Amino acid sequence: MKLQGVLSAIVTPFDSEGQFDEPALRALVDQSITDGVHGFVPAGGTGEFSVLSHQERLKLIEVVVEQTNGRATVLAHTGATSSKEAVEFSRHAERVGATAIMLATPYYERIGFEEAFSYYAAVADATSLPICAYNFPPSTGLHLNVEFLLKLNEKIPQVQYVKDSSADIAQMYTLLGDYRDRISFLNGEDIIMLPALMLGAPGMVMGIANFMAPALRKLHDASQAGDDATVAHLWRQINPVIRVLGQGSYNSGVKAACELLGLRVGPVRAPIRALPAERLATLKDVLSKLDPSLLTGARR
């Protein structure tokens, strides 16, 4: 199955005691498919992977793959701070039936392009799954530029996708304009969604898909049909939500929106803090002004 369309950077639900809530995750997967997503990206940044235990990450991938049951693609994030652990996560994702794997480069101990190449090569040697390079320099300290991505694709043909959360518009223009036949661009940055859609980006990985999949599905379909007027009209409606989420902890905002709209996902895990009351009120206000058909049908 090809990775395309609306991929939900699915949150990891926790119960009131901060433990992984498997029934809530299964319910969220089902609701998201009903709402129109094409796929899921479990254990990514919006899934709070950095505060999950090793075993929780394994279980998370297993549950999402099992619950989708072939109804949607699963791009499992298997990036880690060591090649050894990334290989282990990736082999596990292949065993349980993930569609593809996404790899953020190691973080904290910053690396360069040579180390990053060896990291991707080690994972490619250990699994036959397609690989999506995850470019998020604010968290990893390494910007995967066009030259490096093309080298990955040439030397490691399994690298077929990039989830780009760098907000580097020039890079996006280059990848979509000159190299879309070599590496598939998945937009991972909410605020540049409009130009990505106008350029016909084949897919997006969005945290807001947890609660706003109907809007994103309409945007994607309009983009693929070349209906720029509809894209712009829908964008103007959802942009206020994106701006509110960008003012603080993104994960806290996404989970708060889910809860406001009837999706049981629980709190973020410490040390991340819940959305402050003032921002929660603002979020509630902007959501209330949206056409309900653009939001999850959890309460409809």
Which residue ranges are tagged as binding site for pyruvate?
A: 46, 205
Which two structure tokens, joined as six digits, stand for 41?
A: 């990206």
β-pair partners for 6: 204
Which two structure tokens, joined as six digits, stand for 265?
A: 């996902």
DSSP 246: T
d(CA 230, CA 185): 22
Which two structure tokens, joined as six digits, stand for 27?
A: 């319910």
284 belongs to the catalytic site: no
Give alpha helix (H) positions in 69-187. 83-96, 113-126, 137-140, 146-155, 169-178
2 belongs to the catalytic site: no
Element (H, E) at 209: helix 209-224
Q: Which of 119, 120, 161, 163 is catalytic?
A: 163
Task: Count other Cβ atoms within 10 Å, centred on residue 23.
Answer: 11
Q: Which of 134, 218, 250, 255 is catalytic?
A: 134
- Work out the end-to-end distance of the chain between its first and last CA atoms, rounded to an integer number of angstroms: 31
Nearest 5 degrees, angle CA 22-CA 26-CA 32? 140
The DSSP secondary structure of 109-134, one letter per residue, reads S---HHHHHHHHHHHHHH--S-EEEE
CA nearest 139: which of 175, 163, 173?
Answer: 163
CA nearest 7: which of 33, 34, 28, 25?
Answer: 33
Residues marked active site are found at 134, 163
